[in-house]
Amino acid sequence: MEWRTDWGLRGRMVVTMLLLGVLYVLFAAALSLYFTGLLPIVLIMGLLAGAQFFFSDRLALRSMGAREVEESEFPDLHRSVGRLAQQADLPKPTVAVAETSVPNAFATGRSPNSATVCVTTGLMETLDRDELDGVVAHELAHIKNRDVAVMTIASFLPTIAFLVVRWGWLFGGGRNRRGGGGIVVAIVVSLVVWILSFLLIRALSRYREFAADRGGAVITGQPSALAGALAKIDGRMDRVPEEDLREQAEMNAFFVVPIKSGFVGKLARTHPATETRIERLRALEREMEVV
């Protein structure tokens, strides 16, 4: 099967970004209750958005304790990433490895030219070669769809709205020139913006996983390999020490399979149910056999 544009993904991205744009306007209106001019609002939001966009990849790798590795250290992994990137018509991304028993992988980076694919040592110990190829191809599909950049930009608004709620509640009292009522309105609007954008982004995140599953299966030509990898990873999660799960839970939106244990993992689903993803991959396998 050849790579096809996923118009369902594109449509959901457009709708989500339009709705987030409306929320941006409401959020800017809330910030105007803190500041008398438009310039401080634009500068604050612009600086924070730029920082998140340009440094999110480094923060993601650092939070996982991951490091870039040379081909001499992990030759098989480098060969796999290079070969699959060529099949996906992508430049070879930087390869990183995280020393952790949590079996998982993620991609990060602003664009295909600055992307990194990271796998954990636990993943390499759990999967066979075809299954590992399936997971790497899934991450390359995220890069090809520019999911990392889109999700980073989309997640900026709820992050800032949360900060307004948190710090405005703690320190905003009495400082607003327009009275305490303005502070309350700003906090309420920011809270609503945070909740709505949070739900929108989670919905987009779940669908992008389906799209990356399909894209990864098209790259390798073996949907069953990714299906087997998902089943193995999901099964291993229950046997990973609780300390490791809690430490890595903040990376849920990046992982190929989310961590289900702990408060963060249960707060909201960033991924569809593994069983549903496997069913779709099995159906895709049958479709490819017919073709």
pLDDT digits (tens, 9 = 90+) for 44-71: 666 766 766 677 677 778 878 889 999 9
Query: Is 139 annotated as catalytic?
Result: yes
Query: Model confidence over 88-146: pLDDT tens digits?
Result: 999 999 999 999 888 999 998 878 998 999 999 999 999 999 999 999 999 999 999 88
> Which residue carries 């769809």 as its tokens?
145
Task: For residues 38 and 76, give the distance between their C-alpha atoms in angstroms, rounded to a whole number.
Answer: 53
What residues form DSSP beta bridges with 117? Answer: 95, 107
Please report, for residues 26, 55, 105, 121, 265, the alpha-carbon distance to residue 142 in angstroms, rounded to integers and kept in the order given. 30, 18, 12, 21, 21
**Which pLDDT belongs to residue 260?**
61
Do 281 and 223 touch, CB atoms closer than 8 A? yes
Tell me what pLDDT residue 87 has. 94
Please report the pLDDT score of residue 126 as a whole number.
94
% of the chain with per-residue pLDDT over 70: 61
pTM: 0.74
| Lowest model confidence (mean pLDDT) among 54-58, 79-83, 121-125, 244-248 | 244-248
Between helix 180-220 and helix 223-237 the angle, nearest 10°, is 130
Question: Does the pLDDT of residue 250 top 90, yes or no?
Answer: no
For residue 173, what pLDDT is reported?
Answer: 46
- Catalytic pick among 2, 68, 99, 139: 139
pLDDT band for position 288 (cuts 50, 70, 90): confident
Q: How many CB atoms lie within 10 A of CB 242?
A: 9
pLDDT in tens, 173-224: 444 444 555 566 666 766 677 677 777 777 778 888 998 999 999 999 999 9
Provide the mean pLDDT of the chain. 77
Task: Sort 173 into a burial class: Cβ within 10 Å, 0-12 / 13-18 / 19+.
Answer: exposed
Cα–Cα distances in angstroms (integers) from residue 77 to residues 91, 129, 177, in the given order: 16, 9, 58
Percentage of residues in the chain with pLDDT exceeding 90?
33
